[in-house]
Amino acid sequence: MKTKKIAPSLLSADFSNIEKDIKMVEEGGADLLHLDVMDGHFVPNITFGPFIVKAIKKVATIPLDVHLMIKNPGDYVESFCDAGADYLTVHVEATPHLHRVLQQIKAKGVKVGVSLNPHTPLSSIEEVLDDLDMILIMAVNPGFGGQSFIPNTIEKLKRLQQMLEKHQATHIEVNVDGGIKLENIREVSDAGCDIFVSGSSIFKADNPKEMIQQMKKELE
Ligand code: DX5
Ligand code: ZN
């Protein structure tokens, strides 16, 4: 049985005092920390690399869900595994050799994730389901926090459930990233989401700890 998890995205946290924000969301009941790695090529924004992941790993007490939005992820997955990723996700659009990259992650003993941009069909991962621990469905175009949830994502999530059932792969955790807020979290959950990434809705809330609690209540 999969449990529903809240994964605050540090993209909207205060990096001048990241330890404080990490402790805050951990105390609020966060299940995972979502770390967005951007290279300025795959997405039009740049964030951080393995060095910062390693620093975060030192202070975090919950697992790290590392989301690579970088071209040629195969060149870097080992560094991110060594830096302390517990889940490592690569984009299907970012490499012509997805199967090989997934094996590289698995060989490091890290949970294997693959992400799909909003326009990318579910069929693009049908041949690698056996290699996956997690599927991350983008509900916005990757690159920035604070965007609106793309409504078509709900139908896509329902079709993903059908695909997972057809292949007896319902053990794979489904992660949804982008535009998740208190008002839509239940609908996203009912469509088949297990891990809820949320950046701006948590960190820009008046009381982020309370926001996590309220989101969890919606998932009961
Ligand atoms: C966007 C990132 C997200 C982002 C989500 O490219 O992958 O993780 O932080 O932010 P919100 O929850 O504000 O949409
Ligand atoms: Zn993300």
Closest-lying ligand to the alpha carbon of 200? Answer: 1
Atom 6 in ligand 1: which residue has the minimum CA distance? Answer: 142
Residue 138's closest CA among 92, 79, 70? Answer: 92
Tokens read off for 140: 């916005």
What ranges make up the beta strands (E) of 10-96?
A: 33-38, 64-69, 87-91
The CA-atom distances, in angstroms, between 127 and each of 10, 98, 99, 130, 169 are 32, 10, 9, 8, 12
Residue 200 Cα: closest atom of ligand 1: 13
Query: Do 12 and 21 touch, CB atoms closer than 8 A?
Result: no
CB under 8 Å to 133, separation ≥6 — which residues? 87, 111, 112, 113, 172, 173
Rg of the chain taking only CA atoms, in angstroms? 16
Q: Which of 21, 39, 133, 177 is catalytic?
A: 177
Is the CB of residue 4 less than 8 Å from the CB of residue 189? yes
- Which atom belonging to ligand 1 lies closest to the Cα atom of 138? 7
pLDDT given at position 204: 98
Ligand 1 contacts CB of residue 89 (under 6 A): no
* pLDDT reported for residue 1: 77
Q: In whole angstroms, give the CA distance from residue 12 to residue 202.
A: 8
The model's pTM: 0.98
Q: Is 24 left (phi over 0), alpha (psi -120 to 50) or beta?
A: alpha
Per-residue model confidence as pLDDT tens digits over 54-75: 999 999 999 999 999 999 999 9
The rounded Å distance from CA 197 to ligand 2 centre is 7
Closest ligand relative to 11 C-alpha: 1
Q: Is 140 in the pocket of ligand 1 (CB under 6 A)?
A: yes
Instruction: Give the residue among 26, 54, 13, 57 at the shortest CA–CA distance from 145.
Output: 13
- Spacing, Cα 180 to ligand 1 middle (Å): 9
**Predicted pLDDT of residue 212:** 98
Q: Which residue has the tokens 């697992």?
A: 63
Residue 39 designated active-site: no
CA of 148 from ligand 1 middle (Å) equals 10
> pLDDT value at position 124?
98
Low-confidence ranges of the chain (pLDDT < 50): none
Asked if 36 is an active-site residue, the reply is yes
